[in-house]
Amino acid sequence: MTAVSTVKIAPSILSADFANLEAEVRDVLNGGADLLHLDVMDGHFVPNITFGPPLVKSLRGVTDAVLDCHLMISEPTKYVESFVKAGADWVSVHVEAPDDIAAAIETIRAGGARAGIVLNPDTPVEKAEPYLDDVGLVLIMSVFPGFGGQSFIPEVLDKVRVLKTNGYGGEISIDGGIAEDTAPQAIDAGVDVMVAGTAVFGRDDRAAAIRALRSSAA
């Protein structure tokens, strides 16, 4: 029997066709995506470069969908305000960034957006603890950040279980290597949001891809 989960699906535009981004975004939203995941990389915190606030602003102009900005940048404090001003709804910063994370979170919230904290696969869940009262999202990386299309690391799901057991009240998102075969484990661990790049944009029928991620083997 197949059960359909209420987990939110957040396609990562990292795997979209950037030359046709508006059409790509409309396609996944019409296909049932709940929000859009925007991977911001600075070529310093991670060995890859993507885009910044101007692209967020352009997307804000064509959709009311929640824009979930995942900042893989070394100096989030310096830039979070410009992402909020560009129209980001959620802005998440890595605890590993060599910066004042509490200040970044405060600035995001002061701008009226939801602040999130991100943990790399090898970062213990305890590192999130000082911030849990102030963030509405904990993003658990299930690959090392920088690139789409990597293999899911199942051990990180223990962090999801710990957060749930400890009564964390915000949403928990999982990011990296989510596909039809790995999604059931994440759903079972209790995630609220699943980020998926390759598994959605890599398929021609995005609605079918999103449905497949939500359907977990019961």
Active site (catalytic) residues: 39, 175
Kindly identify the residues of this chain, within the stretch 32-71, that bind ligand DX5 according to CB under 6 A. 37, 39, 70
**Alpha-carbon distance values, 80 to 83, 85, 96, 202 (Å):** 5, 9, 16, 30
Judged by beta carbon, residue 50 or residue 58, the one nearer ligand DX5 is 50
Nearest approach, Cβ of residue 148 and ligand DX5 (Å)? 3
Which residue is closest to ligand DX5 by CB? 197
- Helix H, strand E, coil C: the string for 96-107 is CCCCCHHHHHHH
130/143 Cα distance (integer angstroms): 23
Rounded CA gap, 31 and 40, in Å?
24
Q: Which two tokens stand for residue 201?
A: 């944009």
Residue 190 carries which DSSP code?
T
Q: Which stretch binds Zn ion (CB under 5 A): 28-36, 63-71, 85-93, 104-112?
A: 63-71
Beta strand 90-94 with 114-119: parallel, antiparallel or unpaired? parallel
Least Å distance, CB 70 to Zn ion, is 4
Which of ligand DX5, Zn ion, none does residue 198 bind to, with CB < 5 to 8 Å depending on kind? Answer: ligand DX5
From ligand DX5, Zn ion, none, interface partner of 148 (C-beta below 5 to 8 A by class): ligand DX5
CA distances, 83 to each of 4, 60, 88, 111 (Å): 34, 11, 6, 10
Instruction: Indicate which single residue of 59, 195, 209, 210 sits in contact with ligand DX5 (rule: CB under 6 A).
Output: 195
> Which residues would be at the binding site for Zn ion (CB under 5 A)?
39, 70, 175
> Which residues would be at the binding site for ligand DX5 (CB under 6 A)?
12, 14-15, 37, 39, 70, 143, 145-146, 148-150, 175-178, 195-199
